[in-house]
Amino acid sequence: MRVLAALDKFRGTATAAEATAAVGQAGWTLGVDVDEVPMSDGGEGILEVLGGANRTSLVTGPSGQPVQAGWRLQNRRAVIEMAAASGLLLAGGAERNDPLAATTRGTGELIAQAAEQGARTIVVGLGGSATTDGGLGAIEAMHSPARYKSIDLQVACDVRTRFVDAAAVFAPQKGATPAQVALLTARLNQLAERYLADYGVDVREVDGTGAAGGLAGGLLAMGGRIIGGFDVVADHFDLDERLESVDAVVTGEGYLDEQSLDGKVVGSLASLAVGAGRPVVAVVGAADDAAAARLVALGTADAPVTVVSLVQEFGEQRAFAEPQWCIEHAAEQALRALA
């Protein structure tokens, strides 16, 4: 039996690479050939799964402080993870973040540097942001959109939230009070009018423009195109071809919920695998019952979908303390059942 192991991160406990390697170890124990492909849906972790940083730049952090941000440039393609320059963790978390002042300028500085150093494709992974500035800081650092006309600026995200809704949906997670959410919403409305006047792009009418506090909308105005982060990674690894050469798929993430079935790794990969007639095992830290039922319902008689919760199998304490051990043993049990 040959298995494709393609897992996303288990946030706070295991990276995508660590989780995927744990399934590989289970395969080694059983004598099963495992094709290991760590995954991302465009948020935190996309830089790692697309090769990791081979450049480091000093840029403006979300609170205005200088930060060292890693990014990648290879074969004229740059990969930038906005969390490395404008992330909430860099601002000290929601408790220390200033949601009104947090800026995406550092992300724009990385994009500008990538363009200056010859990139012809720039992938910007959105997720984990401290910001709700509508991408204004990034745009100011990028300067004229004319310099990006010959560049394929790919804005990779996993949400469909629109520009003006970004404050209400995401800003409370970044420390914003209800009064600040109202102020940020008004500011996004003003920015949308400005982008329409300056760039001829109505960011209010496009799904996904609210990602990373509206950074996606700002980059769209600068000539970027919003694409699913999962699709970027799937294309990079030729997942369609890989599925043809395996008998089953193991995927997973830290928490399975309704969003998991809307453009994220587990739902997207399960749909691809079932379409190719391959059974799927989703190993997750924990699962919402309704979301798990929806995921299982994607399966067919020839390509069933199974959900394994580490919390249910091993208990919450062990699932958090020893995630890789739990993933390995859950995968081993599931692979034995498939064999």
pLDDT digit string, tens, across residues 99-129:
999 999 999 999 999 999 999 999 999 989 9
Q: How far apart are the first and last CA of the chain?
A: 7
> Phi/psi of residue 336, each to 5°?
-60, -40
> Per-residue DSSP letters for 42-79?
SSTTHHHHTT---EEEEEE-TTS-EEEEEEEEETTEEE
Spatial separation of the C-alpha atoms in residues 296 and 62, rounded to whole Å = 40
Confidence at residue 130, expressed as pLDDT on a 0 to 100 scale: 98
CA distance 136 to 144: 13
User: Which pLDDT belongs to residue 45?
Assistant: 87
At residue 99, the 3 state secondary structure works out as: coil
Q: What's the average model confidence in pLDDT over 4-25?
A: 95
- Give the CATH architecture of domain 46-230: Alpha-Beta Complex (3.90)
Q: Please say whether the beta carbons of 46 and 10 come within 8 A.
A: no
83 and 48 Cβ atoms separated by less than 8 Å: no
Q: CA-to-CA distance for 261 and 247, rounded, in angstroms?
A: 22
Q: What are φ and ψ of residue 13, in 5° steps? A: -130, -40
Average pLDDT over residues 177-193: 98
Report how far residue 55's alpha carbon sits from residue 111's, in angstroms, rounded to the nearest whole number: 13
* pLDDT, tens only, 240-287: 999 999 999 999 999 999 989 888 999 999 999 999 999 999 999 999
Q: Contact 81/71 with Cβ under 8 angstroms? A: yes
Tell me if 2-37+238-338 shares its fold with 46-230. no
Share of the chain residues as helix, strand and coil, in percent rounded to the nearest 5 = 50, 20, 30
Say what the pLDDT of residue 339 is: 77
- Residue 12 pLDDT > 90: no
Place of tokens 């379409």: 275
pTM recorded for the entire structure: 0.90
Following DSSP, what letter does each residue of 121-164 receive, concatenated?
EEEEE--SB---STTHHHHHHH--GGGGTTSEEEEEES----GG
Q: Does domain 2-37+238-338 have CATH number 3.40.50.970?
A: no
So where are the chain's domains?
Answer: 2-37+238-338, 46-230
Confidence (pLDDT) at 43: 80
Q: How far is CA 274 from CA 135, 270, 298, in A?
A: 38, 6, 7
Contacts 24+ apart (CB under 8 A), 231-240: 232/42, 232/46, 232/50, 232/123, 232/154, 232/156, 233/39, 233/40, 233/41, 233/42, 233/46, 233/49, 233/50, 234/268, 234/269, 234/272, 236/50, 237/37, 239/6, 239/37, 239/269, 239/272, 240/272, 240/276
Does position 321 have pLDDT exceeding 80, yes or no? Answer: yes
- The one-letter amino acid code at 203 reads V
Q: What's the confidence (pLDDT) of residue 296?
A: 97
Burial class (CB in 10 A: 0-12, 13-18, 19+), 6: buried
Structure tokens at 296: 């299982």
Helix (H) or strand (E) holding 33, with range, is: strand 33-36
Transcribe 221-247 into DSSP letters. HTT-EEEEHHHHHHHHTTHHHHHHT-S
